[in-house]
Amino acid sequence: MSAMGNFVTPIVKELGCGVSALTAYTSVNAVAMALLYTTAVKFLNTKNIGKIMGIASLVEVIGLGLMSIYDNVVLFYISGAAIGFAQAFTGFVAIPVVISMWFKKNTGTVLGTVIAVGSAANTLYSLLTGQLINAFGWRQSYAIMAIIACVITVPAVFLIIRRPQEVGCEPYGADEMPTVIQKQASVPSSSGFSLTKAQAMRLPLFYITWLACICFSYGSGVAYNVQTFSTLELGQSITFGSVVGVALSLGTIFSSLIVGRINDRFGVKAGLAWGVITNAIGFMMMFLSYKNPAFVLPSVFIVGLGNTMYTVQCPLMAQTVVGDQHYSEIWAVMMVANSMIGGGLCFTIGLFYDISGTFKGAFVMGIVLFLVAGILGNIAINMSKKLQNKLASNS
């Protein structure tokens, strides 16, 4: 939804389409990503990573720029697909893979920090697009944002992104791997525990972890409809909607930093609990905004505090459950369903408004999905601990 945000309300009003019809862009984007995840992991692990991610970033920018000329909602799906294909090489799979290449220690903190930087960029994006839409309209705003990304983001990716071997160094913490794995999994044994993809896919813990990630994926989409909720349902201005986006991004920044450290210091279960609790509190508070729209701001900030369950918590949970050695391969497989099912269903969040005229049902669904995901995550972690202890006792 980062390519939508403040744009949904003005586009819906100009094109005369439903919210779900436009936000189906996100579903197309997610499915397109899923189709190339496993291919992306192979390329990222074997090819020049800077060139691969740089070319993908350029495709994203082209897709974004084209959205400025569309006069039919169906055309947005073309950009959604193009950006999705490219994001398979730059997004949800690529970031954890690159982090795992460089860091074998404190991966939760590092991953959280990287996501926080991205969230900070989204904060500026929300403020800037709000001002641009008010000044120039949504079409020119898309074009301007594409030009900015082409000038800054694309060259930076080509020049900066490398793997350790390409610059002649070892990943941070590589010499402490067994200790780090024990600490992250919170188990006293099974040094170096790691399942292959074939082994993992024969075990229930793999599918339970997978289902938890899908719930987090689908549930996380609710937060990205809050800007539309504030401008379309509550009738607030685009400027107010951009401030709502900033509040969400600020919460996500704090979440990115906090969740990573919680995982590194207290374990994955503590990270899951953090997300479930903050998400529930935030969306329950959202109902107060019907009496006073100002309540949207603290509510969405609290929602943001748990908004990295998919981007930070899920990769760390999966890594803890299956081990580190084959993690990137297994995570790529999980991400296929995460995007196709969780992301592919994002358009249904807009259906709540199209059918009932309110996002209330979507907020309740967000709470339930995070709760189910937290329960499933705990079950999978417990099963992994039992397996590791069993293997240790047999060795």
**Angstrom distance (rounded) from CA 25 to CA 48:** 30
Of 136-145, 252-261, 351-360, least confident by mean pLDDT is: 252-261
Q: 170: which DSSP letter?
A: P
* Pairwise pLDDT comparison (101 vs 70), residue with the higher score: 70
Return the pLDDT at 254: 86
pLDDT average, residue stretch 321-336: 81
With 80 as the cut, is the pLDDT of residue 373 above it? yes
Whole-number CA gyration radius for the chain: 20
Q: How confident is the model at residue 192 (pLDDT cuts 50, 70, 90)?
A: low
Number of C-alpha atoms within 13 angstroms, CB side, residue 55? 10
Q: How confident is the model at residue 343 (pLDDT cuts 50, 70, 90)?
A: low
Of 181-185, 186-190, 364-368, least confident by mean pLDDT is: 186-190
pLDDT average, residue stretch 180-197: 54
Fold of 5-394: Growth Hormone; Chain: A; (1.20.1250)
**Angstrom distance (rounded) from CA 116 to CA 46:** 28
Return the pLDDT at 147: 94
Return the pLDDT at 2: 52
The neighbour count for residue 390, using CB atoms within 10 Å, is 12
State pLDDT tens for residues 79-88: 999 999 998 8
Return the pLDDT at 215: 92
**Angstrom distance (rounded) from CA 147 to CA 139:** 13
**Angstrom distance (rounded) from CA 137 to CA 115:** 29
- Say which residue the tokens 């090819």 belong to: 47
Q: Which of 310, 365, 359 is nearest to 33 (CA)?
A: 310
Q: How confident is the model at residue 395 (pLDDT cuts 50, 70, 90)?
A: low
Q: Which of 328, 386, 349, 322 is nearest to 38 (CA)?
A: 328
Return the pLDDT at 255: 85
Structure tokens at 239: 């400027």
Structure tokens at 383: 């099963």
Q: How confident is the model at residue 187 (pLDDT cuts 50, 70, 90)?
A: very low
The type of residue at 129 is T
Share of the chain above pLDDT 90, in %: 34
Q: 72: which DSSP letter?
A: S
Sign of CA dihedral 85, 87, 90, 95: negative
With 60 as the cut, is the pLDDT of residue 191 above it? no
With 80 as the cut, is the pLDDT of residue 339 above it? no
| Domain map (residue ranges) of the chain | 5-394
Q: How confident is the model at residue 332 (pLDDT cuts 50, 70, 90)?
A: confident
Return the pLDDT at 4: 63
111 in Cβ contact with 312 (< 8 Å):
yes
**Angstrom distance (rounded) from CA 360 to CA 111:** 32
With 90 as the cut, is the pLDDT of residue 123 above it? no
- Say which residue the tokens 């709502």 belong to: 244
The helix/strand count (H/E) of the chain reads as 18, 0
Of 108-112, 114-118, 191-195, least confident by mean pLDDT is: 191-195
With 70 as the cut, is the pLDDT of residue 389 above it? yes
State pLDDT tens for residues 4-56: 678 888 999 899 988 888 888 888 888 888 888 888 888 887 888 888 999 99
Contacts of 280 (CB under 8 A, 6+ apart): 367, 370, 371
**Angstrom distance (rounded) from CA 136 to CA 188:** 60
**Angstrom distance (rounded) from CA 122 to CA 126:** 6
With 60 as the cut, is the pLDDT of residue 1 above it? no
Q: Is the pTM of this model over 0.85?
A: no
State pLDDT tens for residues 246-257: 888 888 888 888
pLDDT average, residue stretch 384-391: 87
Helix then strand then coil, % of the chain, to nearest 5: 85, 0, 15
